[in-house]
A and B are shown apart, each in its own frame.
Chain A
Amino acid sequence: DTGVSQNPRHKITKRGQNVTFRCDPISEHNRLYWYRQTLGQGPEFLTYFQNEAQLEKSRLLSDRFSAERPKGSFSTLEIQRTEQGDSAMYLCASSLPGTGQETQYFGPGTRLLVL
Chain B
Amino acid sequence: RKEVEQDPGPFNVPEGATVAFNCTYSNSASQSFFWYRQDCRKEPKLLMSVYSSGNEDGRFTAQLNRASQYISLLIRDSKLSDSATYLCVDSGYSTLTFGKGTMLLVSP
A contacts, CB < 8 Å to B: 31, 33, 35, 40-45, 48, 55-56, 91, 101-109, 111
Q: Is B80's beta carbon under 8 Å from chain A? A: no
Instruction: Establish whether residues A42 and B46, one from each chain, have CB atoms under 8 Å apart when the complex forms.
Output: no
Task: Report yes or no: A103 in contact with B98, Cβ–Cβ below 8 A.
Answer: no
Q: Is the pair A106, B100 in contact by a Cβ cutoff of 8 Å? A: no
- What separation, in Å, do the CA atoms of A85 and B25 have in the docked complex? 27
Interface residues of B (CB under 8 A from A): 4, 8, 32, 34, 41-46, 49, 87, 91, 94-101
Q: Are B49 and A91 in contact (CB under 8 A)?
A: no
Contact A106:B91 (CB < 8 A) given known A43-B98, A45-B97 = no
CB distance from B57 to the nearest CB of A (A): 14
Assess the B43–A45 pair: CB atoms within 8 A: no
Which residue of chain A has its CB nearest to the CB of B6? A42
- List B contacts of A56 (CB < 8 A): 94-95
In whole angstroms, how far apart are the Cα atoms of A48 and B87 in the complex? 20
Q: How far is the CA of A43 from the CA of B87 in the complex (A)?
A: 9
Top 4 A-B pairs ranked by shortest CB distance? A42-B98, A106-B43, A45-B95, A101-B32
